[in-house]
Structure 1
Amino acid sequence: MAKDIKKSRNGFESRRRACTALLALAAGTGNATSADDPLQDTVRDAAPAPPQDDRLYKSYGAAALEILGFQLVLNRVDHAFVRPDDYDVSIGSIRRNLRSSWVVDRDPFEINQLGHPYQGSVYFGLARSNGLTFWESMGYAFAGSAVWEIAGETTPPSRNDQITTSFGGTFLGEALYRMANLVLEEGYGLSPQWREVAAAAVSPPLGFNRHVAGGRRAALWASHSPAIYGRLQLGVGGITSNNVGPSLAPRRNEVAADFALDYGLPGQPDYTWRRPFDYFLFRVRLSNVQGVESLATRGMLFGAPYGSGRNLRGIVGLYGTYDYLAPQVFRVASTGLSLGSNAQLLLSDHYTLQGHASAGIGYTSTGTTSASTSGQYHYGFAPQAMLTLRLIGNERFAFELAALEFFDGKLTSAGPNGTDRVFRGDASLTWRVSGHHAVTLKYLTSRRTFAFENVPERQQRRDTVGLYYTYQFARGFGAVN
């Protein structure tokens, strides 16, 4: 177990170092929904060049060469720093992998479910920032993943890595690409130089190409001014309920940072949802205990708007989903597709209700943190569902509920017999104190119910209550007028 944890940390760190190396090489070569936001004046004063349509500049060859270059750097970094060394690639290992059957590997959870999707987001981002469309970039991420599985590692190619790298990387990569472009376009009070730095931190591939090509291939992308709601929370959480089950995780309170963004909210009359991820939600939570405690994105791939009068506005369609959840005692991750809807209902002149509901199926993995037994690591296609509600009152407060559930992951699993069910719930009350500043009282619950042979425990649970400072990018809570 200690070796797996060390490999997990080293492997994920190697991917971060490779991205940093590419950015260093590049450097050597080369709307808020609230109308009364004072930051908008600063944004207009330092506005960048007008956005370009993403079809104007394309370079298929540059995208392919950059992905191969990134893989070469990543392979050499992994070979130098990761043990055991699965990266001493040779002609013989490539031939062996070409003839090998694809398997389900058992690499550490963070490598398979966090490291590989992020690696795929780099493939996707390099293609996207060379002017390729969403679907073309997904193809490049898929091809890049296959090349890595065969020629980037000496171990047999892994079908679970192919899924999470290609599709999880695409759904994560498009959200990062859009957010980086949003920083470049809106600015949020940053100088042009700091916009570039911030955008590169969000999407290193975009930052790389903006330096290498002088912004031509990675020109500012046309967002069409989506309605957004974004907030950052910093605070502490104390444990109110803790059932570790078979986990060896210690009981620890946490200091956490929680970022959320809703992009392309319905209700804006002149905005259309014709391109993949014209609507998406993005959530990430970091803690002093787990590092990345949760990461999720949901983006509409195909869909259409609907409404009734001026009070009800919504979108409905097919969503691409990526979820990673590791609340100390257990972990779950999924890449999938869901049918769902987002809507806004104006209850009165002062109260607004917003929500999201979706259900579908994803390739899911669950396991126990620092488990003393190995029979609980479970792969398979599993149903999943998500529901969020936000009640906004007088732009003064918001009450939010969120629920995410993953059901039995054994539809196609060839692993040990067993059942698994994970629930994540979030309830929070945010009160705006002044301008962009607010305070939030938050309750989080993470629950897992499972049954495996030779494992006497059946449940795991961790509940926390926390107090957070909240910074909102606009004065309001996302109500679209």
Structure 2
Amino acid sequence: MGAQAQIITAPDSIKAGKGTRKQQLDKIKARKNRLFTDSLGGSEPANAVLLDTTLFNKYGDLLHDDPEYNPRQPLWKPAAQVLGINAVFMGFNRYVAKADYGYVSPSTWKRNLRSEPEWDTDEFGINFIGHPYQGTLYFNAARAQGYSYWQSLPFAVGGSLTWEYFGENTLPSYNDMIYTPLNGAFLGEVLYRVSSNILDDRTTGRERAVREIAAGLINPVRGLNRLLQGKTFQVTNKEVYEKEPINVTLFAGVHRQNRNQDDVFGAGYNNAMLNVQLDYGNPFELQKRKPFDLFRLRAEFSESKQDTVSGIINNITGYGVLLGRNNQVGKLDLLTGFFQYYDYWNTRNFDLGALGFGGGLFARYPLSRQVNLYTNAHLGVIPLAGNSTRFAPDENGLRDYVYTTGLHGKLETTLSLGKYASAAFVYYHYWLKTFEGLEGSNSIGIVRPRLTVQVFKNVSLGYEHFGYTTNRRLEAFPIQRSTITDQKIFLQLFLQDPQRKGRYN
């Protein structure tokens, strides 16, 4: 096995006297693409047998960050950075924003430590987007200093707890202590992985500057740590970061949410929309799974507040594998695993923010050399979610959403006709029961069929139809059943990593 490993490690290193650094990098990348590109209709690159699978994935990329270049820093460093992040937020709230809740003192700390936490009344977007992003900063304080996913998670928990008790003069909140660290770790690992794919410490000059700036914008805490550790300008002769192939899909076009309830293809507002989807890792590669070596993150934006309850973010959804196992049964490629899910939906019909965990099954069945049927199905538990009521604020008159628990089921299936066309059907369902706020339950369904047809190389014309349904049963109000539909026409730009074949987006 050691002799086989040399086949990839030797060409992956920059050698003196073998041409310029850029020329050697170009040759390394071309060679890897040639040797370790997915075979059509299969789950493995044709020459994967050339690799030492204890060090590399099937595409010749590292399975782990190089421990010599990325050593784990002493415990006090990420802990101090977590406290520093909180100090920056506290200073901003008090001296820049001059927010009432930013005026803390020993007396407010003493009261918070002696009081029972509450379920807070923050705005929906703050609780279910803002706080998870704050959790990514705590998480990456450790992740960007040599700690693994599981080792970084406690720092997200600690950052959230110290903020809740000492960062504001309001009472600590249960929802923030759960949602901030857990979905912060979800988004934090996504940001770490994407920034790793952007960084290449073998590069120099303009390319290096662009990579450093892009990675720093995506993951600011990592960018800061690279400066502190001297990595921003340090040049290596070999790859030092774990990477998996990543596909990027961009949708841009117009959409119309029908104005009237239960109206399909009716009158509505036509507004511009943009959708970005990242697919990281190959679900059908035979490998030992670890957290987030496979994930999907999809975000959609609209220019008009008429499409949403508040803001321009229509939805952010995603999943990341925590544990998994791959198998092949004849021609069928399978992945079974345990996943974490992130859901944020902001529509005129409902708001929904959910943290989920559950089991998932991915399958690929090749119908021919070019035609594949992809399916993934999920069933999970939702320990915490927020869901709008649309009737009235809670009993305190401050919050127009309730805290719930429940279940979710998700199905995504795509028939891919190679690069020429695809037909997809997606259905999500959420069963939610209120435990804090207006008593009741809600059953939410989201259906999303889509068709794309190639118009030029990796550009396709697409149509997508959304249907949002709710069935609210609140004890103090009449039952509400409603449906809002949304039609989208768009151009799709599909940027496929040559080492990750498969249009199952």
> Would you call these one fold, judging by a TM-score over 0.5?
yes
- The match for 1:440 is 462
Which amino acid in 2 is paired with 1:180?
S
- The match for 2:148 is 133
- The match for 2:284 is 267
How far 1:422 sits from its partner (Å)?
Answer: 1.6
- Aligned equivalent of 2:322, options 283, 301, 320: 301
Q: For 2:472, what is the secondary structure of its paired residue?
A: strand
Query: Is residue 197 from structure 1 mapped to residue 213 from structure 2 by the alignment?
Result: yes
Which amino acid in 2 is paired with 1:472?
F
8 Å Cα contact 1:422-1:447 kept in structure 2: yes
Query: Is residue 427 from structure 1 mapped to residue 444 from structure 2 by the alignment?
Result: no
Unmatched tracts of structure 1, length 5 or more: 1-30, 37-47
Q: For 2:161, what is the secondary structure of its paired residue?
A: helix
Between the two structures, name the one with larger relative contact order (CA 8 Å, sep ≥ 6). 1
User: What does 1:208-357 align with in structure 2 at a 5 Å threshold?
Assistant: 208-215=224-231, 222-226=241-245, 228-240=246-258, 242-243=260-261, 252-269=269-286, 272-288=287-303, 289=305, 290-309=311-330, 311-357=331-377
How far 1:222 sits from its partner (Å)?
Answer: 3.4
- Aligned equivalent of 1:143, options 148, 158, 170: 158
Q: For 1:86, what is the secondary structure of its paired residue?
A: helix
Structure 1 range deviating more: 433-442 or 138-147: 433-442
- Aligned equivalent of 1:182, options 176, 197, 202: 197
The change in CA–CA distance for 1:347 and 1:262 in structure 2 (over 3 A counts) is same
Quick one: distance in 2 between partners of 1:440 and 1:151? 50
Query: Is residue 409 from structure 1 mapped to residue 422 from structure 2 by the alignment?
Result: no
RMSD in angstroms over aligned alpha carbons?
A: 3.2
How far 1:409 sits from its partner (Å)?
Answer: 2.3
Computing the radius of gyration over CA atoms, which structure comes out larger, 1 or 2? Answer: 2
How far 1:478 sits from its partner (Å)?
Answer: 4.3
Which amino acid in 1 is paired with 2:470?
R
8 Å Cα contact 1:431-1:439 kept in structure 2: yes
8 Å Cα contact 2:337-2:359 kept in structure 1: yes
8 Å Cα contact 1:58-1:217 kept in structure 2: no
Quick one: distance in 1 between partners of 2:360 and 2:290? 16
Unmatched tracts of structure 2, length 5 or more: 1-31, 41-60, 306-310
How far 1:71 sits from its partner (Å)?
Answer: 1.0
Which amino acid in 1 is paired with 2:65?
Q
8 Å Cα contact 1:57-1:216 kept in structure 2: no
How far 1:480 sits from its partner (Å)?
Answer: 8.4
Quick one: distance in 2 between partners of 1:138 and 1:287? 33
8 Å Cα contact 2:300-2:315 kept in structure 1: yes
Quick one: distance in 2 between partners of 1:361 and 1:378? 18
The change in CA–CA distance for 1:388 and 1:216 in structure 2 (over 3 A counts) is same
Which amino acid in 2 is paired with 1:394?
G
The change in CA–CA distance for 1:478 and 1:388 in structure 2 (over 3 A counts) is farther
8 Å Cα contact 1:339-1:360 kept in structure 2: yes
Quick one: distance in 1 between partners of 2:363 and 2:233? 35
8 Å Cα contact 1:64-1:140 kept in structure 2: yes
8 Å Cα contact 1:445-1:462 kept in structure 2: yes
How far 1:34 sits from its partner (Å)?
Answer: 7.0
How far 1:448 sits from its partner (Å)?
Answer: 1.6
Query: Is residue 459 from structure 1 mapped to residue 481 from structure 2 by the alignment?
Result: yes
How far 1:224 sits from its partner (Å)?
Answer: 4.7
Aligned length: 427
- The match for 2:48 is none
How far 1:79 sits from its partner (Å)?
Answer: 2.4
The change in CA–CA distance for 1:114 and 1:156 in structure 2 (over 3 A counts) is same
8 Å Cα contact 2:416-2:503 kept in structure 1: no
How far 1:294 sits from its partner (Å)?
Answer: 0.9
- The match for 2:22 is none
- The match for 2:72 is 58
8 Å Cα contact 2:466-2:485 kept in structure 1: yes
Deviation per CA, 1:256-302: give whole Å up to 9, x if none.
11111221223335xx2432111111111111133221112211111
8 Å Cα contact 2:62-2:241 kept in structure 1: no
Quick one: distance in 2 between partners of 1:241 and 1:357? 32
In the superposition, the TM-score normalised over structure 2's length comes to 0.77
The change in CA–CA distance for 1:475 and 1:399 in structure 2 (over 3 A counts) is farther
User: What does 1:14-25 align with in structure 2 at a 5 Å threshold?
Assistant: none
- Aligned equivalent of 1:383, options 378, 402, 407: 407
